[in-house]
Structure 1
Amino acid sequence: MKKIILCFALIMVGTIMAQEVPLVTNVFARNNINLNGKWNYVVDPLENGYYDYRLMPFQTNGFFENKKFNTAELQEYDLDTSPLMDIPSDWNSKDNRLFFYEGTVWFKKDFVYKKSASTKGILYFGAVNYDAKVYVNGKLVGNHVGGYTPFNFDVTNVLVDGNNFVVVKVDNKRHKDNVPTVNMDWWNYGGITREVVLSQVPITYIEDYLVQLDKTKEGVISGWVKLNSVVAKQTITLSIPELKIKKQVVTDSNGMAYFELKANPVLWTPESPKLYDISISKFDDSITDAIGFRTIKTVGKEIFLNGKKVFLRGISIHEEAPFRQGRAWSKEDAITLLTWAKELGCNYVRLAHYPHNETMVREAEKMGLMVWSEVPVYWTISWTNTDTYNNAERQLHDMIYRDKNRCAVVIWSIANETPHGDDRDIFLSKLAKYARTQDSTRLISMAMEVTKSNNNINTLKDNMSDFVDVISFNSYLGWYRGTNESCKLMQWVIPYNKPVIISEFGGEALQGLHGDKTKRWTEEYQEELYIQNTQMFDRIDGLAGISPWILVDFKSPRRQLPRIQDFFNRKGLISSSGIKKKAFYVMKDWYKKKEMEYK
């Protein structure tokens, strides 16, 4: 058991049992009670609601019980009369007192549930940052570690008919052995940051499924359906009406049903992002989805989408809400950000530096944007710590598990800007190999660093090149080293017969600050940086894509320069208030040229 990920895989409370269970795939297509909305919250920097004065965890009388006190009892907290916060959200942007806060906050929500002998209740969280302890009706149902991936608990046996309540202890303190570690360049937004639902499913339900073009057989759609229980001889019906497909399959002794279907679907492309309505059902359970079909592969130094050479015209994006800042989570947030990417001329987005919310990925798919999805193995983490590796592997597993049916996802990324070394190579090579066991149909990459430079020659050398399909690296010529002018003479040596993606480049500019193109922080400096860098990139052999850093200015505690940064990383092509900078149009013009080259 990997204790860093699931400290309480099975909790016994008398005769009551609660359990973290495999993710309910496509949870938002189920019969759900929506638990978004107003939640009470209590800020608890000393964790008084969890530990007694001897620093021992409470068995009773903790905040999780939400006890109803009488006037004769000592009462020093009351979740019911505490302030309210909108969920999903983050406390840093919702409560001015908590702008920099890292620690524990308790959240509580009341709901009504109608028990049924024929259904289960699965409590689903899209994400909680970072360490979540979840209680239902005062009983601990589980603990989840990791701030950007979904998790759910089977809470059937702790629910009661009528009034219920859920309490979540959320702790976003950074620790050296976490993933990410203590050092990062984005805001550590704390809270219940994505949607919460109580899914009502049959006792035996469709837990998971895979529907995709067969990797080896042309004109075949293949896949499988998995039940939550090892129940044989269950009839499953797969229907794709537009392709005139209706197929019945029967589960085996493992609760699995496999299928192969002859079909020639219209393939998904950025220009025509075709999705097919599908349904998967059994006599008491039915799910619908919209699924696209495409192929992605590399040949030598080129990337091929559906057998056609493609250049990935991209942009990097943080999961930060446009205009209002704070953690993004809604469909409206996703559409705004992705519309800006489309206006830039993108056919691809790098969702950095962690798995983004499911809505973001689905909207990208609908809009015709290929996706690079990444786990937060970022900078220098604890390479030799077993629990740290298990944490990273679990996040990688959950990212792939959730989005394996999203044809827009073409790259799984296992790391960003990690320092070279034997321990790091062992850690990351294991992650890469594990990713392939979970999905052999997509490309594997990571954002490397250029570590060797001799005069005007940059050489990329990284032992991880053997384990990835695409060589990706971050380059900040003109900002962290060199000048914009030095781009004119720079040559690149990339000694691998694989496609190359510039996963990051850029420089900061305060929108509205103007001056000479040699003056840092001005729009003109950033504009010139983009002009010189894109001209340099045209000389890189095997260049197959690029994702500048970054679409929109975002919050970062590292960026403190008064009247310029003010806790924003200003590398965005668009300001935090939604105004496009001059460099946006340089990139747009370059992408237009690339689009014409690849037609």
Structure 2
Amino acid sequence: MNDSSALRASRLSVARPRPQLLRERWSTLDGTWRFAHDDAEVGEREGWYGSAHRLDGSITVPYPPESPASGVGDGGFHDVVWYQRDVPWQAVLEAGFHPSRPRIHLHFGAVDYRSRVWVNGKLVGSHEGGHTPFSFDITDAIVEGIAQHITVRAEDRADDVEQPRGKQDWLEEPHVIWYHRTTGIWQTVWLEATPEVFVEQVHFTPQLSRGTVEYELRLNRPPAPGTSCRIELVHGEETIAELSTQLVSQRHTGTITVPRLQNGQDREGILWSPASPQLVDAAVIVENDGHPIDTVYSYLGLRTVSIRDGQLLLNDLPCYLRSVLSQGFWPQSHLAAPHPDALREEVELILALGFNSARVHQKIEDPAFLYWADRQGLLLWAEAPAAYRFSSTAVERLTHEWLAALDRDRSHPSIVTWVPLNESWGIQDVAHDPAQRAFARALVQLTRAIDPSRPVISNDGWEHLESDIFSVHDYDHDPATVRARYRGPEGLAALRNGIGPAGRTMVLTDSLREDAPFMLTEFGGIELRAGRGNGAGDSWGYSSANTVEQFEKQLRDLYDALRSSTVLVGTCYTQLTDTMQEANGLLTEDRKPKLPLAVIRAIVTGTN
């Protein structure tokens, strides 16, 4: 990494689809694919995956077919869809295919919900889970020197409420707080070549008090005798740590000593925080008998998150969260970002509005959003998309997908809280059903087992079990009531021991930690009716303002009421943007502020 030409994962001008595990070469398959709905579900029987079959429609990947950006724009019920593309041999070579890298992998960022993939008519794999990445080694299916025929069948049952779906509507037309469905491919598709033995995943967990970084390295298979690994950590142009170790198993863990962290007077300049989002580049080089086999590039942020005495601590210092709820939805592209710079611009806009945090709601967000949050210092709450029915099938599906999300995202420094469940969605009877309680608790404990370095909320909003943060959802629009409810310890005690603003019991057991930070994680939701024209009758908010002046006053009064609290250590405003008929954003769905940006920032931050 001292080589000036080495790839620096923390310095990308455009985010890559897997930003914390990069190789030098890759090639994107985004763009125009052939496409067809399969409402009669005859495609497999008729051999649509074969090289001789040609689908008669087209779609722009990675936009879902319900979205205008896809070129299809059909929001009706289509449970099964097919994609085809003939990938030129040059794209395989551009991905790094070479005698030293003889395995070629086909990657999908996300395909909702169930998929089967063929290459040149040969089935290469299947996957279930609509928000998490997967890949297949397609080496044995390719034919060298010619175009490769890739076919994808995606299945997303509109009425299957046991699958994690988040805000995707089960009705044909969006209603209330639910939006258009996202079927099929909605994140980048790409190719990558690797050696026979390669790095499959790498994780980093800083331990600031020990002056170390713990790492986890996973190979695709057990290494040959004599295999070793070198890890280099670089901050700016300074190598701050190096380690060499033998690899004797497929999964390897260890500890890297960072001398500068051990000097308490010298470490601040390399720590990650919203005010100074310093990133450390990492190079991981796997070697055999001194010869490099595989090199991957990653990055990490040296920071810790903890809870003590009712405070959320970042690097051992109290951190008050000024958060906003983000749906991650665009009118032209739905859950997919509309263009490569959109997610960077979204992070920049959230910060410009005065927020230091975003709660990504009912969506496992595109890794590019996490990358720019890491780069620019935006704190994130990561939340699972919910199923709507409780069953053993729903338990299995959500658990599987949540584990995949933790594996993908737990090295991102911007993520400071995990939220596996929200508002009892999918566990509607948790107050009475022992099985639903057991599931909520199990998700918390499972999350802590995988990642003990962050707080976990068992059920954001109400009906808490083993949450590390006591979070409340409250859409009361009367500032006087809000001020009284959150003013001091009496209000906090009343909520912990009683019924919340939404009429739900706030805490179901005595397992909520006594020193849990108290946060209002949904409030506001004011709809500005002025300027919406005749379409305003189809929109709604939790409260409304008829003029821009009234909107500003209601927003300012709510924030002033909450700032008077002596017990709250964080808030989250609903929401960042209008999202279809839910028109209660600070911005329009096209990301235009409803008030001057400087005015919103002053209200959010409490400055003049």
Query: Following TM superposition, by how much is the alpha carbon of 1:435 offset from its aligned partner in structure 2, in angstroms?
Result: 0.5
Q: Determine which of 465, 488, 497 is the counterpart of 2:515.
A: 497
Separation of aligned partners in 2, 1:202 and 1:120: 6
Query: Following TM superposition, by how much is the alpha carbon of 1:511 offset from its aligned partner in structure 2, in angstroms?
Result: 5.7
| 1:156 lines up with 2:139 in the alignment | yes
Residue of structure 1 equivalent to 2:257: 261
Taking a change above 3 Å as real, the CA distance of residues 309 and 547 of structure 1, as seen in their structure-2 partners, is same
Taking a change above 3 Å as real, the CA distance of residues 147 and 524 of structure 1, as seen in their structure-2 partners, is farther
Separation of aligned partners in 2, 1:551 and 1:279: 36
Query: Following TM superposition, by how much is the alpha carbon of 1:25 offset from its aligned partner in structure 2, in angstroms?
Result: 8.4
Asked whether the 8 Å contact 2:186–2:335 carries over to 1, the reply is no
Q: Determine which of 582, 586, 596 is the counterpart of 1:573.
A: 586
2:278 corresponds to which letter in structure 1? Answer: K
Query: Following TM superposition, by how much is the alpha carbon of 1:586 offset from its aligned partner in structure 2, in angstroms?
Result: 6.2
Residue of structure 1 equivalent to 2:47: 62
Q: Indicate the SS of the match to 1:581.
A: coil
Residue of structure 2 equivalent to 1:317: 326
Query: Following TM superposition, by how much is the alpha carbon of 1:203 offset from its aligned partner in structure 2, in angstroms?
Result: 0.5
| 1:342 lines up with 2:347 in the alignment | no
| 1:98 lines up with 2:116 in the alignment | no
The residue correspondences of 1:276-425 to structure 2 (distance < 5 A) are 276-282=280-286, 283-321=292-330, 327-328=336-337, 330-377=339-386, 381-383=388-390, 385-418=391-424, 419=428, 420-421=430-431, 422=433, 423-425=435-437
Query: Following TM superposition, by how much is the alpha carbon of 1:89 offset from its aligned partner in structure 2, in angstroms?
Result: 0.9
Residue of structure 1 equivalent to 2:595: 582
Residue of structure 1 equivalent to 2:499: none
Residue of structure 2 equivalent to 1:428: 440
Could you list the per-position Cα deviations for residues 352-384 of structure 1 after superposition, in whole angstroms to 9, with x for gaps in the alignment? 112100000000110110111111126xx332x
Residue of structure 1 equivalent to 2:3: none
Q: Indicate the SS of the match to 1:354.
A: coil
Could you list the per-position Cα deviations for residues 245-301 of structure 1 after superposition, in whole angstroms to 9, with x for gaps in the alignment? 232111123452523323325100111100122211121211112321101101021
Query: Following TM superposition, by how much is the alpha carbon of 1:488 offset from its aligned partner in structure 2, in angstroms?
Result: 5.2
Could you list the per-position Cα deviations for residues 425-472 of structure 1 after superposition, in whole angstroms to 9, with x for gaps in the alignment? 22111111111111111111255345xxxxxxxxxxx341xx221122
Residue of structure 2 equivalent to 1:469: 468
Asked whether the 8 Å contact 1:311–1:544 carries over to 2, the reply is yes
Residue of structure 2 equivalent to 1:219: 211
| 1:512 lines up with 2:531 in the alignment | yes
| 1:107 lines up with 2:107 in the alignment | no
Query: Following TM superposition, by how much is the alpha carbon of 1:27 offset from its aligned partner in structure 2, in angstroms?
Result: 4.8
Query: Following TM superposition, by how much is the alpha carbon of 1:326 offset from its aligned partner in structure 2, in angstroms?
Result: 5.8
Separation of aligned partners in 2, 1:328 and 1:127: 13
Residue of structure 1 equivalent to 2:198: 205
Residue of structure 1 equivalent to 2:274: 270
Q: Determine which of 165, 170, 183 is the counterpart of 2:149.
A: 165
Residue of structure 2 equivalent to 1:87: 61
1:577 corresponds to which letter in structure 2? Answer: D
Separation of aligned partners in 2, 1:178 and 1:325: 19
> RMSD across aligned C-alpha pairs, in angstroms?
2.9
Query: Following TM superposition, by how much is the alpha carbon of 1:167 offset from its aligned partner in structure 2, in angstroms?
Result: 0.8
1:429 corresponds to which letter in structure 2? Answer: R
Q: Indicate the SS of the match to 2:349.
A: helix
Residue of structure 2 equivalent to 1:191: 184
1:140 corresponds to which letter in structure 2? Answer: L
| 1:121 lines up with 2:104 in the alignment | yes
Could you list the per-position Cα deviations for residues 528-585 of structure 1 after superposition, in whole angstroms to 9, with x for gaps in the alignment? 4423432332354531212211111113xxxxxxxxxxxx310110012332113976
Could you list the per-position Cα deviations for residues 130-156 of structure 1 after superposition, in whole angstroms to 9, with x for gaps in the alignment? 222212222222222222111112222
| 1:48 lines up with 2:42 in the alignment | yes
Taking a change above 3 Å as real, the CA distance of residues 336 and 141 of structure 1, as seen in their structure-2 partners, is same
Separation of aligned partners in 1, 2:409 and 2:579: 25
Separation of aligned partners in 2, 1:323 and 1:106: 21
**TM-score computed with the length of structure 1 as normaliser:** 0.80
Separation of aligned partners in 2, 1:576 and 1:24: 27
Asked whether the 8 Å contact 1:317–1:550 carries over to 2, the reply is yes
Paired residues in the alignment total 519
| 1:593 lines up with 2:567 in the alignment | no
Asked whether the 8 Å contact 2:330–2:590 carries over to 1, the reply is no
Residue of structure 2 equivalent to 1:3: none
Gaps of 5+ in 1: 1-22, 51-57, 69-77, 451-461, 556-567
Q: Indicate the SS of the match to 2:244.
A: strand
Asked whether the 8 Å contact 2:529–2:544 carries over to 1, the reply is no
Query: Following TM superposition, by how much is the alpha carbon of 1:310 offset from its aligned partner in structure 2, in angstroms?
Result: 0.9
Residue of structure 2 equivalent to 1:535: 560
Gaps of 5+ in 2: 1-16, 171-176, 262-266, 287-291, 497-513, 537-542
The residue correspondences of 1:428-447 to structure 2 (distance < 5 A) are 428-446=440-458
Asked whether the 8 Å contact 1:322–1:336 carries over to 2, the reply is no
Asked whether the 8 Å contact 1:553–1:569 carries over to 2, the reply is yes
Separation of aligned partners in 1, 2:117 and 2:531: 46
1:192 corresponds to which letter in structure 2? Answer: I
Query: Following TM superposition, by how much is the alpha carbon of 1:186 offset from its aligned partner in structure 2, in angstroms?
Result: 3.0
Separation of aligned partners in 2, 1:97 and 1:362: 29
Separation of aligned partners in 1, 2:318 and 2:479: 31
Taking a change above 3 Å as real, the CA distance of residues 307 and 26 of structure 1, as seen in their structure-2 partners, is closer
Residue of structure 2 equivalent to 1:558: none
Separation of aligned partners in 2, 1:275 and 1:322: 33
Separation of aligned partners in 2, 1:315 and 1:367: 16
1:47 corresponds to which letter in structure 2? Answer: E
Asked whether the 8 Å contact 2:19–2:367 carries over to 1, the reply is no
Separation of aligned partners in 1, 2:218 and 2:34: 37
Taking a change above 3 Å as real, the CA distance of residues 335 and 254 of structure 1, as seen in their structure-2 partners, is closer
Query: Following TM superposition, by how much is the alpha carbon of 1:107 offset from its aligned partner in structure 2, in angstroms?
Result: 0.6
Residue of structure 2 equivalent to 1:554: 579
Query: Following TM superposition, by how much is the alpha carbon of 1:424 offset from its aligned partner in structure 2, in angstroms?
Result: 2.6
Asked whether the 8 Å contact 2:80–2:153 carries over to 1, the reply is yes
Asked whether the 8 Å contact 1:444–1:468 carries over to 2, the reply is yes
Asked whether the 8 Å contact 1:472–1:502 carries over to 2, the reply is yes
Residue of structure 2 equivalent to 1:12: none
Separation of aligned partners in 2, 1:446 and 1:523: 38
Could you list the per-position Cα deviations for residues 296-315 of structure 1 after superposition, in whole angstroms to 9, with x for gaps in the alignment? 10102111111111101111
Taking a change above 3 Å as real, the CA distance of residues 95 and 103 of structure 1, as seen in their structure-2 partners, is farther
Taking a change above 3 Å as real, the CA distance of residues 155 and 542 of structure 1, as seen in their structure-2 partners, is farther
Identity across matched positions, percent: 21
Taking a change above 3 Å as real, the CA distance of residues 547 and 519 of structure 1, as seen in their structure-2 partners, is closer
Asked whether the 8 Å contact 1:302–1:542 carries over to 2, the reply is no
Asked whether the 8 Å contact 2:19–2:298 carries over to 1, the reply is no
2:371 corresponds to which letter in structure 1? Answer: R
Asked whether the 8 Å contact 1:374–1:413 carries over to 2, the reply is yes
Q: Indicate the SS of the match to 2:105.
A: strand
